[in-house]
Structure 1
Amino acid sequence: METYTTMRHFADSWGLLAMTLFFIGVVLFTLRPGGRESANEAASIPLKDD
């Protein structure tokens, strides 16, 4: 049971911090300047004719 306790403590502390930082990073990446143009360009790829 010692492994379970250690992993539970890690998930409760550092795991939560890692997920929070990842979420903030994704939000900042999506809202970065110039992101709209690249997103629109990527969204129109399937509609382009060869």
Structure 2
Amino acid sequence: MPFEHESLVAFAKSFGLFYLFAFFIGVLIYALWPSNKNRFDRAAHSILNDEDRPCR
């Protein structure tokens, strides 16, 4: 049973949509997971440390 180009394109578009949607949900869950809050807070404030100064 040979596949036509249009059917393969439609399958690829559908699968790609579901794949990206699942990836987005996974990233969203990771970013909003309560135990990751401290890690993200440290990363957000790490560039504001007083120790980092330009070389003179």
TM class by shorter chain equals 0.7 to 0.9
Instruction: Give me the identity figure in percent.
Output: 33
Q: Which residue in the other structure is 1:29 paired with?
A: 30
Gaps of 5+ in 2: 52-56
More helix by share: 1
TM value normalised by structure 1: 0.73
CA offsets, 1:1-50, max 9 Å, x none?
x54x22x2111x21011011011101110111212111110001111122
Query: Superposition RMSD on alpha carbons, in Å?
Result: 1.5
Provide the rounded CA distance (Å) in 2 between the counterparts of 1:17 and 1:48: 41
Q: Which has the larger radius of gyration?
A: 2
Stretches of 4+ aligned residues off by more than 4 angstroms: none
Q: How many residues align?
A: 46
